[in-house]
Structure 1
Amino acid sequence: MRKHNAHAMTTTQTSSPSTGAAQLRSPGFLATIDAERIKFFTLKTGPIVTAVLGLFIVLAALLSSLSLISPSSNPNPQADPITSVTELRFVDTVLWMAIVFAVVSVLFATTEDSSGQIKLSFLATPKRVPVVLAKTIVIGMIGFAIGTIASALAMLVPLAVLSTSEVTYQFDLPEAATLAVASGIFMAMIGTVSLAFGLLVKNVIVAIAVPVLLFSILPSILESIGNGVVTTIVGFLPSVAGRVILTTFPNPAGLEAWPGMAVLVGWAALLVALACVVLRRRDA
């Protein structure tokens, strides 16, 4: 009997640590990504606003097409009529809708922090870097999907609208595919930059205001100064560098299409790395 009891005690003592370890074992990285995906789609505004901005990109292309076949009743006599357009005309709305996606990304980063739910995430995944990377992957994939699909549809809509008009649509499939992918990357990276900044700054208002100003108003203000050095710096700002492939406006620093996009990707990678370092040292 004593031997049996001793054996039972030994079994209990040896099995308890393994059971506790199993209970404390953090989920795998894929599970963390899936958890962040669920969080995004359970937000009240995030998925809706993201879907609306995608639809708006397509709607803007439709309205732009219709304006070509239904010119204004008060045309400018000095302006030459538009007889030919390219795909680039119908993807410029991506640049403005990316700012809306930046706000969605900031809210995705800050909502948990403001509500205190971020503590639960860090309890489930004690190592904070996987949480940051999982959020980055989710927002990047959503931004890439919305940007690519919406811009592709925006370039296809004019094919039907302008088919019977006098305006020639110079549609080139490889060029359209390149612009669609570039739009997806641009949207994803703008979202990533904003997400990382939101993780760094706990104040929601500041986290929203700074990216919006950086992507929209600040570059124009700085460029208006007229200083050569300042103008060159403007060319390396995230949105200014990344938009080269999606617009006909020259980059102030002379960056070409894909080098400019590489600068935007570099900004995203740098801020995500900084967010990882800061969150590892910060109390939840």
Structure 2
Amino acid sequence: MSTTIPGSTPADVSRHFAVRDVSLGGAIVSEWIKFRGLASNNVLAGFTLLLLIANGIAMPWAYVFRDRSSPKADYDAYPEMIVDKTGYVGIVLAVLAVLMITNEYRSGQISTTLLSVPRRTPVVVAKAVIIAGVSVVIGVVSSAVGFAVAPAILAGGGYGYVLETPELMRLVLGSGLYLTAIGIIGLALGTIIRNVVAAVLATIVFLVIVPVIPQMFSEYGTEITRFFPIQAGSLLLAPAGTDPMGPWIGSAVLLAWTLVLFVVAAITVKRRDA
């Protein structure tokens, strides 16, 4: 049987009874339990994996059955076609990351979470670790399946491509890193905005619509667009020489976006009330 002190507040209770501060490891375990326990998380993660695998199979299949005499289709098969839609499909993971944090604010569960982890920053870090782990697995598995199946599909039409081991590693690991960055951007925006609908819309607008706006109003719009997350990150999975920035500068730009938004999110959590 529990005893309640009349007129007491959570702050009063914390002065009478020590609150155990959960470590970062404990916070990660807790977030993983919460992630697995929510069906929508499993559905969205599984849906993203299936979409990426489907893209990896559909792209070489479409190449084989496309009219090869068409000038627009007259190009050699290239390995990057297997992963070239990763960024846009990854928006589903960004939405998943938004829901991981905003649903807690909507339900009020965030108060319990922050009571268990008073320092607060580990909460955001733990959620980022979970979304990163899920994203890496989805990116690596889906791209690996694509690269395993694509050669057989292309060979059926008499086509193929050359793929050296370093390039294969860049594309497979890069898929996981690309998805991780997009997911953490979604988590950061969700943490900053808090409202479920507003945060989901803001994430989609930021990743998809905002990069197009400079092209509508500036002659340098195309150059500006290259520095937004989806566009910069896509260079990590693009054929060599397609952009002067190259894969590593592009991934550095994506990383910069991710770190800045994540730091802002962590500061927001520390300074705001639950």
- TM-score scaled by length of structure 2: 0.86
Write the distance in 1 (CA, Å) between the matches of 2:23 and 2:70. Answer: 65
Residues 214-260 of structure 1 show CA distances to partners (whole Å, capped at 9, x for unaligned) of: 211221232232333x5444332222221112235955xx5221111
The answer to whether residue 41 in structure 2 is matched with residue 46 in structure 1 is: yes
Secondary structure, in 3 states, of the residue corresponding to 2:63? helix
Write the distance in 1 (CA, Å) between the matches of 2:189 and 2:85. Answer: 24
For 1:283, the equivalent position in structure 2 comes to 273
For 1:6, the equivalent position in structure 2 comes to none
> Aligned AA for 1:237?
F
Determine if contact 1:36/1:135 at 8 Å carries over to the other structure. Answer: yes
Determine if contact 1:91/1:155 at 8 Å carries over to the other structure. Answer: no
Determine if contact 1:200/1:275 at 8 Å carries over to the other structure. Answer: yes
The answer to whether residue 60 in structure 2 is matched with residue 56 in structure 1 is: no
For 2:226, the equivalent position in structure 1 comes to 235
Determine if contact 2:63/2:77 at 8 Å carries over to the other structure. Answer: no
The answer to whether residue 185 in structure 2 is matched with residue 193 in structure 1 is: yes
Write the distance in 1 (CA, Å) between the matches of 2:260 and 2:152. Answer: 42
Unaligned runs of 5+ in 2: 1-15
Offset at 1:125? 1.0
The answer to whether residue 127 in structure 2 is matched with residue 112 in structure 1 is: no
Offset at 1:129? 0.7
Query: 1:161–1:199: structure 2 CA closer, same or farther, 3 Å change rule?
Result: same
Offset at 1:33? 0.4
1:147-186 matched pairs, under 5 angstroms: 147-186=139-178
From 244, 268, 273, the counterpart of 2:263: 273
Offset at 1:76? 6.3
Determine if contact 1:102/1:211 at 8 Å carries over to the other structure. Answer: yes
Percent pairwise identity: 29
> Aligned AA for 1:49?
L
Alignment RMSD, CA only? 2.2
Between structure 1 and structure 2, the one with the greater Rg is 1
Residues 83-137 of structure 1 show CA distances to partners (whole Å, capped at 9, x for unaligned) of: x312101101212211111111111121101100001101111111111111111
1:9-158 matched pairs, under 5 angstroms: 20-21=17-18, 24-71=19-66, 77-79=70-72, 81-82=74-75, 84-158=76-150
> Aligned AA for 2:37?
T
Determine if contact 2:80/2:238 at 8 Å carries over to the other structure. Answer: yes
Aligned structure 1 segments of 4 or more residues deviating by more than 6 angstroms: none
Offset at 1:78? 4.2
Offset at 1:61? 1.9
Unaligned runs of 5+ in 1: 1-18
Secondary structure, in 3 states, of the residue corresponding to 1:85? coil
Offset at 1:154? 1.3
For 2:213, the equivalent position in structure 1 comes to 221
